[in-house]
Amino acid sequence: PGTANEWKQEAMKRWGSKVEGLEVEDWEQYVLSRMSTPPPPSALDLLQEYYACDAWRLLIVCTLMSRVSSADTKHRCIDGFFQRYQTPSDVLEAEPKEMHAIIYPLGLFENRLKSVIAVSTRFLEMPSFDVGLAPPLKIYGIGEFGFHSFQIFCRGQLDAKPSDKALKSFVDWQRRHGNCHGTPGQAAPCEDEGA
């Protein structure tokens, strides 16, 4: 994209119809701030690695997988969720009853629904997207695990110091394999993001 309108069209293609009504000053910044630069895949096969090329999906995965021990239940519900809701716009246009049927097996439905809606809303509405643990970047339902997952998998920040065991193992694995860039943008951006 080269013009503001082309960047807006790109945003609509990636994140759905709700983008059209947004008042955005800089469409290029809007799109680029939502793009991922994930680290190389590891041998650990973490769920976040499958969604690292799409920041919105990664954050949704973090809200859905939290406090669920069954890998089969996580995979089944997350796959079903993204088959039905491919963009944040799809989520915001959905009926909660319909979403309930898909994610009910994960438990904590009201909290998960509130988190999914908050992530989708903030993803679309923030002029420049980022995630933090304190306002104004704090998003309901995204705690330390989601924040560190976003920093590591979407921003390629391997200097993160997560307390989560799996995230810590991933960062350690990357460092042992020579991928110790701690600067955002060091990893190659995803070519197929949003496709």
Distance CA 144, CA 162 (A): 8
Q: What is the pTM of this model?
A: 0.90
Question: For the purposes of burial, counting CB atoms within 10 Å of the CB of 120, is it exposed (0-12), middle (13-18) or buried (19 or more)?
Answer: buried
Going residue by residue through the chain (195 aa), what tens digit of pLDDT does each one get?
899 999 999 999 999 999 999 999 999 999 999 999 999 999 999 999 999 999 999 999 999 988 766 788 788 899 999 999 999 999 999 999 899 889 888 887 889 999 999 999 999 999 999 999 999 999 999 999 999 999 999 999 999 899 999 999 999 999 998 876 544 444 444 444 443
Of 176, 195, 155, 146, nearest in space to 47 by CA? 146
Q: Are 9 and 1 in contact (CB under 8 A)?
A: yes
Distance CA 53, CA 30 (A): 16
C-alpha count within 13 angstroms, C-beta hemisphere, residue 136 = 6
Of 64, 61, 63, 55, nearest in space to 151 by CA? 55
Return the residue matching tokens 């796959």. 79
